Structure 1
Amino acid sequence: MKAEILSTGDEVLWGEIDDSNASWLARRLRECGVDVTRVSCVGDDIATISSVMAETSSRCDMVLVTGGLGPTGDDLSAQAAAVATGDDLILNKGAFESMADYFALKGWDMTKGNEKQAMLPSKAVMMDNVCGTAPGFCLEHGQARFYFMPGVPREMKAMFNRHILPELDARYPSRQKATLCRLTLFGLPESKTGHKLRDFYAHFPGMRLGFRASFPFIQVKFGSDPFAGDAGRVTSDDMAAAKAWVLEQLGRYVISTAGISLEARVGELLKQKGQTLAVAESCTGGLIASQLTDVAGSSDYFLLSAVTYANDAKMAVLGVKKETLAFHGAVHEQTALEMALGVRERSGADWGVSTSGVAGPGGGSESRPVGMVCIGVAGPDTAKAFTYNFSYGDRGMNKKMFAAMALERLRRELC
């Protein structure tokens, strides 16, 4: 089956926000065995939206539309759908009641603008929104079934998983789905990753191989091709053989065989061992703590973060020796080691990790250039410090690399 994605909104069309919805939907649909043939974007204009609906209705089986379901005057998707299908807008009782329940749950008052969100084409089937105020809806037009979802990514994803995915399974049960394996890599550039896997198709001609870079990580994805018919089918033995071969080529650069993030993998290892972590950050300014707490359930193992940017703070909060800072300076392995030991001791954590470096663009010297970072790792039976030199010409990129390297050093200790 074929699908198209239509993103609506002036803010998307004009580049004021990135269209992350379209990329997420395209990826999910392909994994579900749906062939995405086109992605379009239009502004907040009834005539344009309805015109694109007319075009797409004759060339695909389903169209996923995002945006334009809010309470303001520029939210026009329901009106455009009514125009395209020759229908009238009515107050959808189910939509209104689901909104009223959500507002009551939040303790909010509904306004006339919110009531507008319950005005849907009369032939539409409402899809409730468990994460926000805007109901979605679906309807038939031409040969296609249209699904209208909110533009807020969290709400859109929940609605897709709650309504559209089950309907796909019910309406097209025999479609071939992708069988995939995802690996997360750190420390290997995309070009070198591709070179190491250059013989993949010679060994596994019926599979697909892909790469996605998200600095400073690489995700490698391989598996079946759901659109290649019998030639694209793979068995569990085929997948196991491919995974073993890829792991052999990539070796220590693989940080997860489940495609999860480095911080999530570190969390898994800490939970498996029943251990805890505290972090002392200087140059990363709380980035490591932010990444760790982005993982649901991190309170099971993450105890404390201390952003000790100034030398006085390193001494007062972490117990770094005055003589150490006077003799070695802030960016030194001995300082990083004392930071890691100090945060571990003061928090009572099993592990302490620290960073101290020069993120740039200024502040570097011949002995401590921009991109230099010292990392300390202190655990139950170990206390180590490491020095790395990275320079990406960008403060943000340096900080991301410093944080990733600190977590990677901890991961290696935990493995």
Structure 2
Amino acid sequence: MKAQIITIGDEILIGQTIDTNSAWMGTRLNEMGYLVDKITTISDDREAIETHVKWALGSCNLLILTGGLGPTRDDITKVTLCELFGGKLIRNQEVEERIVSFFTKLNRPVLEVNRMQADLPSNCTMLPNLLGTAPGMLWEIDGTTVVSMPGVPYEMKKIFSDQLVPYLQSNKTSEIIVRHKNLLTVGIGESSLAEEIKDIEDDIYNSGFRLAYLPNPGSVKLRISYNGKENPESVEQRLNQFAKRIATRVAQYYVGEGEKAITKLIGKQLVAHQLTVGVVESCSGGYIAHQFTKEEGCSQYFKGGMVVYSNELKEKLIGVDAHAIKEFGAVSESVAEQLAEKGRIKLGVDYCIATTGVAGPTGGTNEKPVGLVYTSVSGPQGTRVFKNNYGGTRNRIVERASIGLLNELLKMLQSDIA
């Protein structure tokens, strides 16, 4: 089954707002067996909405629109779709009561423009919005399910999960299945990885499956996909076989399976063995701490960290030997080692990771060029220091160094636990 997504909003087109809704919906729809073959962003314009909806009708089984359902004059999606599908706006008492209750709880007046959000097309199915004032709407038009939802992410996700998913599951008729398996590798480039597994990739394509390379700074995600009518159990079995062959072939770079970030995999290991981690960051400036705190439940294993950018704070807060900084420099193996070892004690954690380097674009020398980064991991079994030279922009150097360090932490964890 094919699905298309249309996001509506001038704020997206001018870069004021980033469209995260489409990525989220694309993931959910693929999990449900839909193949998303087009995502389009258009302006808050009646002609644009009509044109793109007409193009989509008949070419997909499911069309989802987000945005343009607010109470202001520029929000024209509802009126446009109502006219396009031959309905008329009728006030829905249930929705109006919910809107009045919503504003009453906030101790705010209910304006007529707010009540007008309860005016719904007569020929649509209303999808309740329990987190906002604009409900979703659903039509069945010439074999295409058309859905319009608010552009506010948390409202859209609630309607999608609670209202749309059950509807689609109860009306699903296609025998096409879509399956994916994601593998994460760290420390090997896209081209080198492709060369390592080219025979496996040939087998994947010859079996009716597909392989995609999704590179990020410091890591490459592989996605093995299937879209067809084969037996689901057989498809899962072959996906697992291909994944196992790749994991074995590139074992030294292989991190794990699934959509999970490397910090999620680390957290899972730490929680399972009641261990904790902390960070001491210089050149990464808090980036690694942020990667940990993005994960739900991180308080179970992540105690915190310090950003010690200046030499003064490296000495005062962590206890780095001033003589080491004077003799070897802040960007050195000795300082990196002390940051992790002494940071582990200061933070009272089982494992501590640290960074110190020259992220650029200035500050480099012939001896210590931009991109030189020392990272370190300290745990119950000892400390390891890593020296790398990364290319690219300041942000890219920080990202690559951080992902590489997290991978080394994961390796140490797995080794210690084993």
**TM-score when normalising by structure 1:** 0.91
For residue 233 of structure 1, report the CA deviation from its aligned partner.
Answer: 7.6
Q: The residue matched to 1:264 in structure 2 has which SS?
A: helix
The percent of aligned pairs where both chains have the same amino acid is 30
Matches for 1:14-163 after TM superposition, within 5 Å: 14-100=14-100, 102=102, 110-163=110-163
The counterpart of 1:210, out of the listed 191, 209, 212, is 212
Residue 222 of structure 2: aligned partner: 220
Residue 397, structure 1, aligned to residue 396, structure 2: yes
CA–CA distance in 2 between the matches of 1:380 and 1:146? 57
Q: The residue matched to 1:359 in structure 2 has which SS?
A: coil
CA–CA distance in 2 between the matches of 1:104 and 1:269? 47
Which amino acid is the alignment partner of residue 209 of structure 1? L
For residue 410 of structure 1, report the CA deviation from its aligned partner.
Answer: 1.0
Q: In the alignment, is the contact (CA less than 8 A) between 2:305 and 2:347 conserved in 1? A: no
Q: Which runs of 5+ in 1 are unaligned?
A: none
Q: In the alignment, is the contact (CA less than 8 A) between 2:138 and 2:148 conserved in 1? A: yes
TM-aligned CA distance change 1:377 to 1:37, over 3 Å: closer
Q: The residue matched to 2:82 in structure 1 has which SS?
A: helix
* Aligned CA-pair RMSD: 2.5
Q: The residue matched to 1:377 in structure 2 has which SS?
A: strand
Shifted more, 50-59 versus 140-149: the winner is: 50-59
TM-aligned CA distance change 1:24 to 1:304, over 3 Å: closer
For residue 133 of structure 1, report the CA deviation from its aligned partner.
Answer: 4.4
Residue 409, structure 1, aligned to residue 415, structure 2: no
For residue 362 of structure 1, report the CA deviation from its aligned partner.
Answer: 0.2
Residue 12, structure 1, aligned to residue 22, structure 2: no
For residue 99 of structure 1, report the CA deviation from its aligned partner.
Answer: 4.2
Shifted more, 369-378 versus 212-221: the winner is: 212-221
Summarize deviations over 1:195-237 as a string: whole Å, max 9, x none: 2232235434132222222333221111432xx3349983443
CA–CA distance in 2 between the matches of 1:62 and 1:40? 14
For residue 283 of structure 1, report the CA deviation from its aligned partner.
Answer: 0.7
Residue 183 of structure 1: aligned partner: 183
For residue 138 of structure 1, report the CA deviation from its aligned partner.
Answer: 1.1
Matches for 1:161-200 after TM superposition, within 5 Å: 161-172=161-172, 175-200=175-200
CA–CA distance in 2 between the matches of 1:348 and 1:253? 30
Which amino acid is the alignment partner of residue 221 of structure 1? R
Residue 314 of structure 1: aligned partner: 314
Residue 300 of structure 2: aligned partner: 300
For residue 306 of structure 1, report the CA deviation from its aligned partner.
Answer: 0.7
CA–CA distance in 1 between the matches of 2:142 and 2:362? 60
For residue 15 of structure 1, report the CA deviation from its aligned partner.
Answer: 4.7
Summarize deviations over 1:358-390 as a string: whole Å, max 9, x none: 100001111211111111221122122221111
Shifted more, 170-179 versus 251-260: the winner is: 170-179
TM-aligned CA distance change 1:45 to 1:368, over 3 Å: same
**Across the two proteins, how many residue pairs are aligned to each other?**
412
Residue 271 of structure 1: aligned partner: 271
Q: Which runs of 5+ in 2 are unaligned?
A: none
Summarize deviations over 1:44-98 as a string: whole Å, max 9, x none: 1123313433343344332111111223221111111111122222332333344
